[in-house]
């Protein structure tokens, strides 16, 4: 049967997303040097995970095959980003 | 399950599925396969952004300082709110509350239009400031060529995102229309769920665009 998640969960996730948005905007006023993008992307990833897990119902999937499809997609994205950057960053080393 | 909803469920069940549950799972997996292609579509642009930021770090800082921080931040909040109303629309139809579903879908469309209006104001600002790439591009500062490249990526990425928002407005509106016509119920609402998945994906893309475009150079002016 389809899992019905209570509205309370959605409102909590929404509040968390709003708080994280305020946090990341506030942190951008502080000069963290190289780490500012790390912190910004870390907060974005927490927000993204909340959206995917709760709003997109990935936490409550019935079928594990769908999870496999989703993970495969993000895995290919990781290949695209990580392997290309590994190439470019190490070119100057020779 | 009451008799009438049983009859409806039988009517909405396509013949190649065993039951409603299998149909729902299959349709959501199909939607995810589509979203994976969307991840790869935006992934290419994120890849270009990442690489050029690595190569032209200073130009990227410069360009980012010319973003409208407040419009970007407010638009982030607007999209998060629209995601909430979208997920509440799905919840409402799961519970068979059609009226509430329509209200929530309409709210989602309103937030999406608000996003587009703010985005339009922002584009207009950049246009007037000669920050649109091309022969009229003008930027007082160092490494102008690569700042222009930052703006190319800014317009391409937010432009394609905005296109997705526009498509989302169309999809959510059509769900609203179909819901008003009584197409959906607690037993059958796959289209609303899938449009919901699409809409949250659009939100997800913006969640990454916001820090990458608006925040990375912000502390220098703040």
How many residues in chain A?
A: 94
**pLDDT at residue B18 in the model:** 85
A94 to chain B nearest CA, in Å?
17
Per-residue pLDDT at B1: 45
Q: Do A21 and B80 touch (CB under 8 A)?
A: yes
- Separation of alpha carbons B124 and B118, rounded Å: 10
User: Among residues A32, A71, A75, which one has the least CA distance to residue A53?
Assistant: A71
Domains of chain B, with CATH numbers? 36-220 (1.20.120.80)
Chain A to chain B Cβ contacts (< 8 Å): 132
Nearest CA distance, A78 vs chain B (angstrom): 9
Q: What is the pLDDT of residue B13?
A: 85
A86 vs B: CB within 8 A: no
Beta carbons within 8 Å of B89's beta carbon, 6+ residues apart: B100, B101, B104, B105, B108, B175, B192, B196
Q: Which own/partner pairs from B194-197 qualify as long-range (CB within 8 Å, at least 24 positions apart)?
A: B194/B27, B194/B28, B194/B31, B195/B86, B195/B168, B195/B171, B196/A55, B196/A56, B196/B86, B196/B87, B196/B89, B196/B90, B197/A56, B197/B28, B197/B31, B197/B32, B197/B35
pTM for this entry: 0.92
Inform me whether the C-beta atom of residue A63 falls under 8 Å from chain B C-beta atoms.
Answer: yes
User: What pLDDT tens digit does each residue of chain A (94 aa) get?
Assistant: 578 999 999 999 999 999 999 999 999 888 887 788 899 999 999 999 999 999 999 999 888 899 999 999 999 999 999 999 999 999 988 7
pLDDT of residue B9: 53
Coil, strand or helix: which one is B85? Answer: helix
- Cβ contact (<8 Å) for B40 and A37? no
**B15 contacts: CB under 8 Å, gap ≥ 6:** none
* Minimal-distance CA residue of chain B relative to A7: B88
Provide ipTM, 2 decimals.
0.93
- Whether B77 and B185 have beta carbons less than 8 Å apart is answered as no
Would you give per-residue pLDDT tens digits along chain B (222 residues)? 445 555 455 568 888 888 888 888 999 999 999 999 999 999 999 999 999 999 998 999 889 989 999 999 999 999 999 999 999 999 999 999 999 999 999 999 999 999 999 999 999 999 999 999 988 898 888 888 999 999 999 999 999 999 999 999 999 999 999 999 999 999 999 999 999 999 999 999 999 999 999 998 766 544
Q: How far apart are CA B75 and CA B120, in angstroms?
A: 11
* Distance (Å, whole) CA A14 – CA B200: 12
Determine the Cα–Cα distance for residues B107 and B92; give it in Å rounded to an integer.
13
């Amino acid at each position: 049967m389809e899992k019905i998640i209570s509205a309370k969960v959605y409102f909590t996730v929404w509040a968390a997303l709003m708080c994280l948005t305020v946090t990341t905007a506030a942190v951008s006023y502080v000069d963290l040097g190289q780490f500012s993008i790390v912190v910004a992307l870390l907060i974005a990833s927490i927000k993204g995970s909340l959206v995917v897990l709760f709003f997109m119902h990935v936490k409550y999937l019935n079928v594990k095959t769908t999870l496999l499809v989703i993970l495969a997609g993000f895995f290919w994205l990781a290949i695209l980003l990580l392997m290309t950057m590994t190439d470019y960053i190490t070119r100057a080393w020779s | 399950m009451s008799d009438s909803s049983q009859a409806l469920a039988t009517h909405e069940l396509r013949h190649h599925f065993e039951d409603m549950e299998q149909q729902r799972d299959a349709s959501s997996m199909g939607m995810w396969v589509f979203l994976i292609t969307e991840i790869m579509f935006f992934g290419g642009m994120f890849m270009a952004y990442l690489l050029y930021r690595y190569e032209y770090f200073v130009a990227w800082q410069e360009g980012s300082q010319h973003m409208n921080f407040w419009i970007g931040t407010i638009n982030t909040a607007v999209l998060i709110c629209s995601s909430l109303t979208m997920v509440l629309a799905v919840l409402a139809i799961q519970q068979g509350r059609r009226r509430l579903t329509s209200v929530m879908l309409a709210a989602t469309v309103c937030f999406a239009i608000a996003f587009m209006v703010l985005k339009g104001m922002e584009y207009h600002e950049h246009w007037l400031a000669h920050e649109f790439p091309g022969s009229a591009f003008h930027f007082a500062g160092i490494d102008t060529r690569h700042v222009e490249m930052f703006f190319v990526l800014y317009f391409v990425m937010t432009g394609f995102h905005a296109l997705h928002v526009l498509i989302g407005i169309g999809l959510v509106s059509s769900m609203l229309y179909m819901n008003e016509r009584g197409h959906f119920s607690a037993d059958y609402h796959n289209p609303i769920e899938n449009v919901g998945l699409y809409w949250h994906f659009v939100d997800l893309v913006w969640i990454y665009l916001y820090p990458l475009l608006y925040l990375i150079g912000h502390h220098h002016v703040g």
